[in-house]
Amino acid sequence: MNKIMLCCSAGMSTSLLVKKMIASAEERGIEVQIDAFGASEFSNHFSDYQVVLLGPQVKYMQQDLQEEANSAGVRVETINMMDYGLQKGDKVLDFALDLISEHA
């Protein structure tokens, strides 16, 4: 099962995107666990996931979060601003799955 964490300022703006990503995965028969958290919760949860996707509003935190995630071999990337803004769950899911397959 693919495990994807989304992270934004408070975990709220990514919640709708999570639903769209899960719907896209279900349509394609892909097993996923996708959860959204606020940036303040990053340290408590990142090690449970294969990849962490950041909302564009917290892109400035990417380098620090990646340094922390290196210990668990978890990749941290920022979601494309247009895909995020337009809530393109299928595109963001594909991005996450590509990152997971690159790391496998």
What pLDDT, on the 0 to 100 scale, is given for residue 14?
A: 84
Q: 7 an active-site residue? A: no
User: What residue spans define the domains of the chain?
Assistant: 2-103
Residue position matching structure tokens 């958290």:
37
Residues in the chain, pLDDT under 50: none
Just give the CATH number of 2-103.
3.40.50.2300
The dihedral of CA 88, 5, 100, 19: what is its sign? negative
Contacts of 57 (CB under 8 A, 6+ apart): 8, 9, 13
What's the CA dihedral at 10, 71, 35, 91 to 10 degrees?
100
* The one catalytic residue among 8, 76, 92, 93: 8
What pLDDT, on the 0 to 100 scale, is given for residue 9?
A: 85
pTM assigned to the model: 0.94
What pLDDT, on the 0 to 100 scale, is given for residue 104?
A: 67
Say which DSSP state 61 is in.
G
- The 10s digit of each residue's pLDDT in 11-20 is 567 888 999 9
